């Protein structure tokens, strides 16, 4: 028996090739938008009612049928058929089963081109709202760590070489602010997504008197798209979202990379909970940071999805092309990955243990070399000369094999007569931290201000 499609029986009458059917079918992916499709269809029914296409009774029947379908889907009673090409054809097929030929009126003036992208924008808009909440939850985990680790000093790194001592809280908060950019970026992308394509038809608009501004308001869109050709082909919002997912993945990956190193025996700064670690099938002693490695690895997948979408778009002319069918799978996967990796990172942060002594003992006093240069500057030496002088002291301490803090005063004074006994007071991690007191610095005072600022941002989002 020949399977009936939305477009068969007219211009095309041959049975679609079996492999072509498999390639063309998107139901397994886009059935995720079922409730958005129903919501958009109810709004469209209202629009064609206002345009005089439907009677009040027909409108009532269509809405009642769509609501029944929504319930069937929610209760997992909806029966998909092999002939259902996508969620849109499945819903329309079931609607005509429930209410008869009147169901065929629903698609008047509407194309799947404007229907699918409307559903997609509705779905993505709701997903963005949920993801914003999940980002805030992850920020709360970084805030929790920063608040609880306020007295722990750790080496800050540039080029992954010890640079200057910082409060560990300052480091945790650096990741919180990266997430804040992700949150703001998502809000901006949501605004650009919130434009209604419905009513654009296949590409040229519709001949029926549809009030697209009222339709946009009914679906809580900010405005209808101003150009029908652009409306059905625009996937900038998809690229925006995939870029967001890529950046989030990169931010989580950078944090994960450092934490992986900090869990090693050589560093030993942190210990992961067993809940977020795995063992080895061969080596009994192993405790692997697979949670963090998977977060790091998923970042590559997220970037790949963005690249895939950009590659799909680059060769397309204006209006709709079937290549765009792949956009939803990429976005759904990206959204799922973003949500899952944030949840895992949240758990990692809330359950890990910081080894305070290891963090501080690992700091080489050479990390205070800039403080010594600042000491000379305060005594009148130009910074570039001070930088050179301290560099000679560091090289001398390495040559004779002693810690920079143990270099005798006589050796300091050979380098510059400005060095005095008080140079040894510079070798204090606490003092170094305290002096970084400019806005955004690592002093406890400034980190406390950061914490207050971060808490307000988190609290405002929770309301």
Residues marked as catalytic:
159, 280
> How far is it, in rounded angstroms, from Cα 294 to Cα 380?
52
- Residue pair 327/234 in contact by the 8 Å Cβ criterion: no
What torsion, rounded to 10 degrees, do the Cα atoms 375, 377, 382, 386 define?
10
**Rounded CA gap, 165 and 174, in Å?**
15
CA atoms within 13 A on the CB side of 438: 0
User: CB–CB of 203/232 below 8 Å?
Assistant: yes
d(CA 448, CA 173): 11
Q: What's the CA gap between 150 and 157, in Å, rounded?
A: 18
In this structure, which long-range contacts are made by residues 413-422, counting pairs with CB atoms below 8 Å and at least 24 apart in sequence?
Answer: 415/389, 416/376, 416/381, 416/389, 418/376, 418/379, 418/380, 418/381, 419/376
Pairing of the two strands 270-271 and 353-354: antiparallel
SS3 labels along 102-128: HHHHCCCCCCHHHHHHHHHHHHHHHHH
State how far the Cα of 8 lies from the Cα of 49, in Å rounded to an integer: 27
- Furthest CA-CA distance within the chain: 101
Comparing CA positions, the residue from 436, 432, 458 lying closest to residue 445 is: 436
CB-based contact 372:425 (threshold 8 Å): no
SS (H, E, C) 376-393: HHHCCCCHHHHHHHHHHH
Pairing of strands 161-167, 153-158: antiparallel
- Encoded tokens for 24: 């063309």
């Amino acid at each position: 028996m020949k399977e009936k499609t939305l477009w068969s029986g007219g211009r095309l009458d041959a049975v679609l090739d079996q492999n072509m059917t498999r390639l063309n079918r998107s139901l397994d992916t886009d059935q995720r938008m079922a409730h958005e499709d129903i919501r958009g269809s109810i709004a469209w029914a209202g629009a064609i009612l206002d345009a005089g296409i439907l009677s009040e009774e027909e409108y009532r029947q269509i809405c009642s049928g769509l609501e029944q379908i929504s319930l069937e889907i929610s209760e997992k009673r909806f029966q998909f058929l092999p002939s259902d090409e996508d969620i849109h054809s499945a819903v329309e097929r079931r609607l005509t089963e429930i209410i008869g030929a009147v169901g065929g009126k629903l698609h008047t003036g509407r194309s799947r081109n404007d229907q699918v992208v409307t559903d997609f924008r509705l779905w993505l808009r709701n997903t963005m709202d949920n993801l914003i909440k999940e980002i805030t939850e992850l920020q709360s985990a970084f805030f929790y760590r920063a608040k609880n680790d306020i007295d722990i000093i750790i080496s800050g790194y540039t080029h992954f070489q010890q640079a200057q001592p910082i409060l560990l809280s300052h480091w945790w908060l650096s990741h919180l602010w990266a997430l804040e950019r992700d949150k703001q970026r998502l809000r901006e992308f949501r605004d650009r997504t919130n434009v209604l394509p419905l009513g654009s038809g296949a590409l040229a608009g519709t001949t029926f008197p549809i009030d697209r501004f009222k339709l946009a308001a009914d679906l809580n869109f900010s405005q209808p798209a101003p150009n029908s050709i652009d409306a059905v082909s625009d996937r900038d919002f998809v690229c925006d979202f995939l870029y967001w997912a890529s950046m989030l993945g990169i931010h989580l990956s950078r944090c994960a990379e450092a934490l992986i190193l900090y869990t090693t025996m050589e560093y030993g700064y942190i210990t992961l909970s067993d809940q977020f670690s795995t063992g080895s099938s061969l080596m009994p002693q192993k405790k692997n940071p697979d949670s963090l490695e998977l977060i790091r690895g998923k970042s590559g997948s997220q970037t790949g999805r963005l690249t895939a979408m950009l590659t799909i778009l680059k060769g397309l002319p204006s209006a709709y092309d079937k290549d765009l069918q792949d956009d939803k799978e990429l976005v759904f996967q990206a959204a799922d990955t973003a949500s899952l990796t944030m949840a895992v990172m949240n758990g990692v942060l809330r359950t890990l243990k910081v080894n305070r002594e290891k963090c501080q003992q690992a700091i080489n006093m050479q990390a205070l070399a800039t403080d010594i240069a600042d000491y000379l500057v305060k005594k009148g030496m130009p910074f570039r000369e001070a930088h050179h002088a301290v560099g000679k002291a560091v090289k001398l301490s390495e040559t004779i094999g002693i810690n920079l803090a143990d270099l005798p005063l006589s050796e300091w004074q050979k380098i510059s007569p400005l060095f005095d006994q008080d140079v040894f007071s510079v070798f204090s991690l606490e003092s170094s931290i305290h002096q970084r007191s400019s806005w955004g610095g690592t002093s406890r005072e400034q980190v406390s201000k950061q914490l207050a600022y971060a808490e307000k941002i988190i609290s405002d989002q929770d309301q």
